[in-house]
Amino acid sequence: MTAPQTLPGADAPPDSGARHRRAHRGDWILLTWCALLTAAMLGPLAAPGHVLSYDMVAVPDQALLPSSVGLSSAMPRAVPLDAAVAILDSVLTGQVLQKLALAGIVLGAALGAGLALPTVRTGTRLVAASAYAWNAYVFERLVIGHWPTLIAYAALPWLLILGRRVRRGRTSALAPAVLLVGVSALTPTGGLLAGALFGLLVLVPGGRHPRRVRVVSTVAVLALQAPWIVPSVLRPDPAVSDPAGVAAFAAASDSPLGLLGSLLTLGGIWNEGAVPDSRALPSALALTVVLLALAVFGATELRRHLGRAELATLGALAAAGFAVAVSSALPGGDAVLEWLVAEVPGGGLIRDGQKFLAWYALLVALAAAAGAARVAGIVARRASVSVPARKVGGPPGRAGSGVAVAPNAAADAAQIAAGAGRPTPAVAVAPNAAADAARVAAGAGRPAPAAARRASVSVPARKVGGPPGRAGSGVAVAVALTAALLPVAALPDLVWGAAGRLEPSHYPAAWADVRAAVDAGHGDVVVLPYQPFRRFPWAGDRTVLDPAPRYLDAEVVVPDALPVGDTVVPGEDRRAAAVADALENDDAATRLAALGVGWVVVERDTPGTVPDGLLESLESVDINGTFDLYRVPGDIGTWTRIPPAPPVIVADIVFSVILAVASADVARNAFSRRRRSLRSQES
């Protein structure tokens, strides 16, 4: 039997330019999808104003103060975030900076998750983007105002990508990874989330990166935590928290699924005011469970899309984060957490354990995308069974009868389009087979005439399993789009600013007048009512952390005893507690002066009380009925129980230098790539 003959170039690889165009088109589709998700979620933020919601506070121009870098009696929970915001909003206005940050978080999270699976097609990427950017974790953390935590959340998929590249020996990926860890480390929680993922990826055995890269990466990740670690460790008062916070901030059931089910579906925040209403709807819960089932179905597929080290690292962190979130409900878990919070400096970071679901959220999103691709492949294969066999080869008169092609070819192609698995190997169809088919089609019991056989020799071999069949590919696309829309359908509350919970507000003009009147040289400020949260009518009566400490151009003593339900969790700031005691004293003005307080501001349009007789002992400066300013008479003392300045400043300098070097390296690599691209185009 003669061997199959083919024309020259019949089996040549596909045109690389075509592949590049397809990949480029897929990237644009993904970017457009992520932009649509961002617009649907944050559309109301396009209006002027500042968004105020629980801990999310934005002001027109935040001042750069010693407390911005941790040089105060308070715990450095927003260090060096406050310093970064104060520097950046001197270039951009506060509201522009806030809106760019929130849009960048959502867009970056969606796009990063979409690109984190390197071997899948566009439809699968859309599922990953939707599942990671649109879920209960994002909703609850946005509404409660933990946008700095969401910076690290958005960085996680990118750190997974960059960690993969570093492990493969691409040292150019180190600088952007360090830069992302640094931006995430603007708050302690963000630094832990991002630093743990990238640090472990680099340290896990294996990979082609040299030991020098491991050392540099580890040192950089640790050094980037210095701005909040140094003032925490060196503060005169212990950096420990009250164990009552463990029960107050423990994860709670926010759905009919109970605590475990709530956490598995990325909810479970302790604050019921931040829970989406749809978590109680059976239809939304059913869709959420379907999404979780997709993740379970696709978990085994992740082994093909992620490297062993990546999957092991992300899986271990996801398990650890989930364990922290659920630990308070486990036997003896609350006792362990209470000991850590009360005895270990910085242990208070883990009392709100639900925020550590961030690693688990990334794992669920990627697994759900892989599961959707797997389902698309199965459904497409079954759908293609109904497609009639098509024929390879021309009419019998030209080159003999065509050869029937199995429907599975279309299913395999559809499976590729959906990003699920590899197709079955393509089968070359020999020209002799076409001739034999011609004799069968003619009804002859013997081989076809020699002329027909000779004619068939000129037909090149073709491949079964090439272009996708219409039925299979159409079903695959439909499955991918349905899965990509599933997170949105399961959580409709997130549409349009969390169903109205994230809407811009405008500060009254009186606030600017008082800011201009306060002289920081006369002492620090106390704002009344002396409580951490407010409800202003001009901010939609939403609960919000008092904006005055960031609005005023002076240090403000902030009460840190937090009311949670019927419980008040004691704070860690000794000065704040001393001010609270002074306000209850008959000689409050004298005691405030001794504590370094020279100004008292009264917010008149929020619930709360003002101590009787206090204002009569103060000097009126700006009484407007909304934001009244009083001066404390007499000599104003100085509060000196703060961390020593030199080591704190050194830590901030180290942080800044690392970010500057990393930024310069990123810019240099980008310039080099651009120059090489231009040269290749010229040649």
Q: What is the DSSP string of 490-519?
A: H-GGGHHHHHHTS-EE---HHHHHHHHH--
Residue 490 counted as domain residue: yes
Which class for 127: exposed (0-12), middle (13-18), buried (19 or more C-beta within 10 A)? buried
Q: Does one domain contain both 619 and 539?
A: yes
Range of the domain at 625: 507-631
The conformational region for residue 496 under phi > 0 = left, psi -120 to 50 = alpha, else beta, is left
Distance of CA 413 to the CA centre of its chain: 33
In whole angstroms, what is the distance from residue 106 CA to residue 74 CA? Answer: 31
Residue 12 counted as domain residue: no
Q: Does one domain contain both 524 and 621?
A: yes
Q: Does one domain contain both 496 and 560?
A: no
Tokens of residue 403, six digits: 């050869």
Q: Does one domain contain both 241 and 369?
A: yes
Q: Does one domain contain both 400 and 299?
A: no
Give the contacts of 411 (CB within 8 A, at least 6 positions apart).
377, 380, 381, 382, 383, 384, 385, 469, 472
> What is the total residue count of the chain?
683
- Measured CA to CA in angstroms, residue 413 lies from 384, 465, 567 at distances of 10, 6, 60
Q: Return the DSSP state at 278.
A: G
Distance of CA 651 to the CA centre of its chain: 27
Q: Of 271, 247, 277, 251, which is closest to residue 262 (Cα–Cα)? A: 251
Residue with tokens 């300013």: 629
* Nearest 10 degrees: Cα torsion 8, 12, 16, 19: 130
Helical H segments across 265-357, by residue range: 282-298, 302-305, 308-326, 333-343
In whole angstroms, what is the distance from residue 98 CA to residue 154 CA? Answer: 16
Residue with tokens 């649907």: 40
Tokens of residue 128, six digits: 């990953």
Q: What is the pLDDT of residue 3?
A: 46
Residue 361 counted as domain residue: yes
Q: Return the DSSP state at 424.
A: P
Q: Of 561, 544, 532, 545, which is closest to residue 245 (Cα–Cα)? A: 561
Q: What is the pLDDT of residue 383?
A: 80
SS3 at position 631: strand
SS3 at position 440: helix
Beta bridge partners of 527: 601
Q: What is the pLDDT of residue 391?
A: 47
Residue 550 counted as domain residue: yes
- For 473, what's the count of Cα atoms within 13 Å in the CB-facing half-sphere? 13
Number of structural domains the chain divides into = 3
- Measured CA to CA in angstroms, residue 499 lies from 109, 169, 496 at distances of 20, 46, 6
- Measured CA to CA in angstroms, residue 295 lies from 32, 114, 265, 348, 369 at distances of 24, 15, 11, 32, 7
Q: Which tens digit of pLDDT belongs to each residue from 305-334?
A: 998 999 999 999 999 999 999 998 999 999
> In 10 A of CB 574, how many CB atoms?
15
Q: Of 124, 82, 136, which is closest to residue 358 (Cα–Cα)? A: 136
In whole angstroms, what is the distance from residue 427 CA to residue 412 CA? Answer: 12
Query: In degrees rounded to 5, what are phi and psi of residue 564?
Result: -125, 105
In whole angstroms, what is the distance from residue 174 CA to residue 233 CA? Answer: 29
In whole angstroms, what is the distance from residue 287 CA to residue 279 CA? Answer: 11
In whole angstroms, what is the distance from residue 648 CA to residue 636 CA? Answer: 26
Which class for 28: exposed (0-12), middle (13-18), buried (19 or more C-beta within 10 A)? exposed
Q: Return the DSSP state at 265.
A: T
Q: Does one domain contain both 364 and 453?
A: no
Residue 473 counted as domain residue: no
Q: Return the DSSP state at 72.
A: S
Residue 176 counted as domain residue: yes
Q: Does one domain contain both 89 and 208?
A: yes
pTM confidence score? 0.87
In whole angstroms, what is the distance from residue 310 CA to residue 165 CA? Answer: 11
Strands of the sheet with 524-528, listed across from one edge = 556-557, 524-528, 597-603, 627-631, 619-622
Distance of CA 658 to the CA centre of its chain: 23
Give the contacts of 120 (CB within 8 A, at least 6 positions apart).
305, 369, 370, 373, 419
In whole angstroms, what is the distance from residue 313 CA to residue 128 CA? Answer: 19
Q: Does one domain contain both 322 and 436?
A: no
Q: Of 280, 273, 241, 270, which is closest to residue 329 (Cα–Cα)? A: 270
Residue ranges for the chain with pLDDT beneath 50? 1-14, 389, 391-468
Q: Does one domain contain both 275 and 311?
A: yes
Q: Does one domain contain both 517 and 611?
A: yes
In whole angstroms, what is the distance from residue 562 CA to residue 568 CA? Answer: 5
Which class for 219: exposed (0-12), middle (13-18), buried (19 or more C-beta within 10 A)? exposed
Residue 653 counted as domain residue: no
Q: What is the pLDDT of residue 469?
A: 55
Last residue of a domain, one of 595, 610, 631: 631
**Is 68 within 8 Å of 83 (Cβ atoms)?**
yes
In whole angstroms, what is the distance from residue 81 CA to residue 60 CA? Answer: 16
SS3 at position 619: strand
Q: Does one domain contain both 489 and 447?
A: no
SS3 at position 450: helix
Residue 640 counted as domain residue: no
Q: Does one domain contain both 449 and 317?
A: no
**Is 226 within 8 Å of 179 (Cβ atoms)?**
no
Q: Return the DSSP state at 39.
A: H
| Burial letters 140-159, b for 16+ CB under 10 A, else e | bbbbbbbbbbbbbbbbbbbb
If DSSP states are collapsed to H, E and C, what string results for 530-578? CCCEEECHHHCCCEEECCHHHHCCCCEECCCCEEECCEEECCCCHHHHH
